Chain A
């Protein structure tokens, strides 16, 4: 580790490892030059290797420096044992990485710690970043890495009775590699007993001086849990004394699947992560893959992607609005919202051929060119929506009961939001203007004219109103796409564009072979690491891809916005009523697939 900077390929060191970045310099000053190695990657941020002992020091420094790194954006691990192309990197069987985000600097930094198989322990950093709690549990669950000092290091995504750590490389991914699954009556009872809530395990009292608490198991089947989400409430009457969210019921191993799908054939899996977001999920994945491949896509591709992303944003926000109001007890708006969503789907269907899961973006482009007549469909939709949005506002958001239910309820400050890793509209509702489409434009967002609405109180009302305003802005963007759709190709002219443009396939033997290989095996991407973050429908969605120079990803880390949003619930809702919790859940805009992956 000592001389790693020198060991890096020398031509890349100056450009890609960002060793002269002020953050790296500050870390070097604090920890000493020897303690630090810098890795050159395509992640667009300094990636710093640390010794385990200096981890807490480094995190504390970054969190408390002027213009601090306020947010622990992501924390996960990589099983390095089968990675063949890791020249210049420290010896490691497992690597744990901490991705920090600074809003004030609009910069990121990633810290990595190498661990040996015999000693998989790290200090817990919960005291520095509260949202490390769930991330550390997830890493323990998936990799078996122990975080010392974590008060509740138990399974998070897998069932409590699970054996093994699924994201380890020696853990099989196919059903055929396991014994057939059976569930006996005794087995079922054992599983159910394991799910029984034990208040003492969470440090909760069963009774206080003058009251017996009720422990209410809300979910995983509950009309307002928005999917298979469970939250156990400690109730005094209807006042929530404390609560424990329990997730994992929707876990489908999306990250594991990425390790056995080709770069191309993984695209449909991304659709199913934030399943109300459709192609929005494809975007960070293909952006990250294109960074690895070195593909620059044509202007037309960028604009098509932006247009569909914004259309899906409107679609997702409409679902949000309908269910948000339904959770407040208004039964009608959801039907209107679904009427509007159908209008959006008519355009989506015409363009992509699918509704919820188009899987329509490709590495290097999109699946097809826009169909003839798409402008007319899109213009019809753009003409339809604005008056509907006005109607929602007048009929519902201005309603006295809605205001009473939502104003100053379940509110949190910008500071708290950042500490818990809250992003997207839920963060902007606190008054912070942080939207990646403006702050770090990708896919050509810098060319569009739109505003980022922000709230003030960070309460349920602001979160609801913000979404309506965001829909207006999205419609503005779509309008600009329709008006200025550039001519050109819908796929990049690049050898790694997948699948290669069919029109050029039959020209000569070289293109035919490329086509054959890419369709049968899939493209081979250079060994490197890349990371793409986008402003998805619910917050910042990030794909962190590690390539080992093969047809498949070595590690795909999916950072989803809903995960930290759920983790924050207890901190927000303690002392509120059950009704407030339901309203809060409705205002967060989460789907469980986006939490559990």
Chain B
């Protein structure tokens, strides 16, 4: 009996931790929607939302109330089942990916040996959200957006995986905790600088953030794949975008910036600070860059990023063999 009670406590504690991380990730994504607007305001020489609550702090609440009470309209020409399923996939696939992130030495949901592969799988599934959402809407703009999204994500996922293989090779594991541990002395951004660059590009691309927001491309496709969505279904796509941002930032911190490692401050604070800095970078990209044309972006992926990751992987492999003590 004693053993099973202990077991129960452990299970409950793990569940509580998982729930806390889930809530934390969701909350962070939601807060980012407001933070982004304030930051954009700052860089665009204007105020941004500052009316609700002190310094606009309750803007999020106002947004939530608004989006929850909006009419949840499903167009009569839409494919109902897929139309409802798509935003759920968008949000679920990203939320599940948060499982593998080691936030601190003790916090994290799953400590898997396939950790990184799980992320790739979830990112792959995420494409379906956009594809199905765009296709089932029965709208030509949505369809064009979905086509762009699919083409873009598929091409960028090819080298997204490859760009991380250098990290995996250096750490000798797909497990994110092992990867963080391997950065004790030197963050992987130094030996894996090109891996970092290409992963950052791919990360922005899979989250459809500017300048890789081709699937939405407001000026061209008038919001692309989620043009027909309203109410909370739109909200799920919307929060999903920010979840993606948080996820990619957290992953970059884990893979290239030593995760929670850092002097003086507690591990979680380090992790949070690094993630926040990357999130700000995401917003800054949006504030400062024009959008390249879709076909140029595809050729950039295939002709620049892919070869770069391959060369990086080759050099990393060669260096590891060169430096490792002769095998027995």
Contact = CB atoms under 8 A, between A and B. Distances in A.
A405 B292 contact: yes
Given A223-B219, A401-B211, A577-B295, A328 B290 contact: yes
Contacts of B219: 223-224, 326-329, 582, 586
Interface string B278-304: 000000001111111111100000000
A243 to B, nearest CB: 14
A332 B220 contact: no
**Most chain B CB neighbours (cut-off 10 Å) among A325, A335, A396, A404:** A335
B72 interface: no
B211 to A, nearest CB: 7
B43 interface: yes
Contacts of B141: 216
A390 interface: no
B220 to A, nearest CB: 5
Interface string B2-36: 00000000000000000000000000000000000
Interface string A314-332: 0000000000011111111
Contacts of B291: 328-330, 401, 405
A580 interface: yes
A339 B296 contact: no
Contact of B292 (A217, A326, A331, A404): A404
A420 to B, nearest CB: 25
B46 A335 contact: yes
B294 A332 contact: no
Interface string A388-414: 000000001001011011000000000
Nearest to A327: B219
A121 B217 CA distance: 47
B273 interface: no
Interface size of B as a range: 20 to 34
A331 B287 contact: yes
B43 A332 contact: yes
Contacts of B226: none
A252 B221 CA distance: 29
Interface string B188-221: 0000000000000000000000110100011111
Nearest to B290: A330
B249 to A, nearest CB: 21
A404 B297 CA distance: 11
Interface string A330-341: 111001100100
A404 B286 contact: no
Given A329-B210, A405-B290, A577-B295, A335 B45 contact: yes
A499 B44 CA distance: 45
Contacts of B220: 224, 578-579, 582
B211 A238 contact: no
Given A223-B222, A336-B45, A402 B140 contact: no
A327 B296 CA distance: 17
A339 B286 CA distance: 20
Contacts of B305: none
Contacts of A327: 219
Contacts of B46: 335
Interface string A465-496: 00000000000000000000000000000000
Contacts of B221: 578
B94 interface: no
Interface in A355-407: 396, 399, 401-402, 404-405
A122 interface: no
B139 to A, nearest CB: 10
Contacts of A331: 40, 44, 210, 286-287
B322 to A, nearest CB: 37
Nearest to A239: B295
Contact of A401 (B40, B289, B294): B289
B165 interface: no
Contacts of B293: 404-405, 577, 579-580
B202 to A, nearest CB: 18
A559 B40 CA distance: 41
A361 to B, nearest CB: 33
Interface string A199-234: 000000000000000101100001110000000000
Interface in A171-207: none
B282 to A, nearest CB: 14
B86 interface: no
Contacts of B44: 331-332, 335-336
A239 B288 CA distance: 28
A401 B295 contact: no
B144 interface: yes
A404 B211 CA distance: 14
A233 to B, nearest CB: 10
Contacts of A578: 144, 220-221
Nearest to A329: B291
Nearest to B288: A332
A402 B211 CA distance: 12
A223 B224 CA distance: 12
A328 B294 CA distance: 12
Contacts of B222: 222-223
Nearest to A580: B293
A479 B328 CA distance: 83
Interface string B36-48: 0000100111100
Interface in A555-580: 577-580
A328 B210 CA distance: 12
Interface in A158-178: none
B140 A396 contact: no
B311 to A, nearest CB: 23
**Most chain B CB neighbours (cut-off 10 Å) among A331, A404, A577:** A331
B140 A329 contact: no
A219 to B, nearest CB: 10
A404 B296 contact: yes
B131 to A, nearest CB: 16
A201 B57 CA distance: 56
Nearest to B223: A223
A238 B296 CA distance: 13
A95 to B, nearest CB: 44
A136 B217 CA distance: 37
A508 to B, nearest CB: 57
A402 B290 contact: yes
A328 to B, nearest CB: 4
Contacts of A238: 144, 294
A228 B44 CA distance: 27
Contact of A216 (B140, B218, B290): B140
Contacts of A586: 219
Given A335-B45, A336-B45, A582-B219, A329 B290 contact: yes
Contact of B290 (A217, A325, A339, A580): A325
Contacts of A582: 219-220
8 contacts: A216-B144, A224-B219, A328-B219, A329-B219, A332-B40, A405-B291, A577-B295, A586-B219
Given A329-B210, A401-B290, A401-B292, 11 more contacts: A216-B140, A325-B290, A327-B219, A329-B213, A330-B289, A330-B291, A331-B210, A331-B286, A396-B290, A404-B293, A578-B220
Interface of B: 40, 43-46, 140-141, 144, 147, 210-211, 213, 217-222, 286-296
Interface of A: 214, 216-217, 222-224, 237-238, 325-332, 335-336, 339, 396, 399, 401-402, 404-405, 577-580, 582, 586
